[in-house]
Amino acid sequence: MKLGLLTACLPESHLSDIAHWAAGQGFQALEVAAWPSPDARNHIRADRFDTAESEQVRKIFAETGLALSSIAYYANNLHPSEGPQVNAHVRRCVEAAAELGGQSVGTFVGRDPGLSVRDNLRKAEDVFGPLVEHARRHGVEIVIENCPMKSWHPDGYPGNLAYSPELWEWLFGLGLKLNYDPSHLVPLGIDPVAAARPYMSHIAHVQAKDVEILPGQINRFSFYGPISGEKGWYRYRVPGRGQIAWTAIIDALQEGGYDGVVSVEHEDPVWSGSAEKVRTGLVIAHDTLRPLIPG
């Protein structure tokens, strides 16, 4: 296993600066953000991936010795109006990953909030069939993060249909792989270790994010969360500042044969607000996880 980080938490920094800093801190890999412009999370320009872009990115990874674990573009592939543009950009990310020797592209299934879950699943089969085939032809896997994305649904229901092991099995049937993030399972009442164990052969990437349950807040908002715009009953933290048992997570991955990258996804509000604070949060995550990862 290698320890990496997702670059999306440093949108104003150049990929070269992130890579050299990460290597200096002891990280071994990068999961590189590739949202299309004008989104600043575009450390790889998949929307204009030409020879010059390819050479520049290759040079950065060669200089730092880091591995490219995945290209990240987490968007709603089933959006009722924007879905085709999202699908097209996923294809471009696949092509960029293949050119750079990357193994995977990370995205969301998403959801059309105007359709039932069953109708969404049927729609997703039509959307992802061609995407998976495009990735297969390029020697790349599409990995789906298991985030519920409740903010994508007007009533706060899951906006990304990949949040439970039941749905993971459906994903695997389409030829998709899992980008396993244990932080999303805890607030759903799912044991992240028990949930992952049966599906180790389908985990192609891992994101490391922690979660903190805020005392007493669920008594006000319920499991479904607030409708008033107030903060909810949990918040994401960097590993080491929440309540996930990382020793158990890493041990289960090791026992299950996972030998890929564990990529820190920084969404911690305490260690946000400036690039300096974000980097401090990443160091906390590194110092928490690195002693647990063999090799």
Report the distance separating Cα 40 and Cα 198, nearest Å: 37
- Omega before 11 cis (within 30°)? no
Residue 14 belongs to domain with CATH number: 3.20.20.150
Question: Tens digit of pLDDT for each residue in 167-204?
Answer: 999 999 999 999 999 999 999 999 999 999 999 999 99
What's CA 183's distance to the chain center, in Å?
Answer: 11
Question: Tens digit of pLDDT for each residue in 258-292?
Answer: 999 999 999 999 999 999 999 999 999 999 999 99
Q: Compute the CA torsion angle 133, 135, 141, 143 (nearest 10 deg).
A: -80
Question: How many domains does the chain contain in total?
Answer: 1
3-state secondary structure of 129: helix
- Which pLDDT does position 189 carry in this prediction? 94
Beta partners for 32?
71
Domain span holding position 23: 2-292
- Which pLDDT does position 231 carry in this prediction? 77
Q: Is it the case that residue 154 has pLDDT exceeding 90? A: no
Q: Which of 49, 281, 146 is nearest to 32 (CA)?
A: 49
Beta partners for 205?
179
H, E, C per residue of 143-203 = EEECCCCHHHCCCCCCCCCCCCHHHHHHHHHCCCEEEECHHHCHHHCCCHHHHHHHHHHHE
**Is this prediction's pTM over 0.85?**
yes
- Which pLDDT does position 295 carry in this prediction? 73
- Which pLDDT does position 228 carry in this prediction? 67
Q: Is it the case that residue 225 has pLDDT exceeding 90? A: no
* Mean pLDDT value of segment 102-116: 96
Amino acid occupying residue 58: R
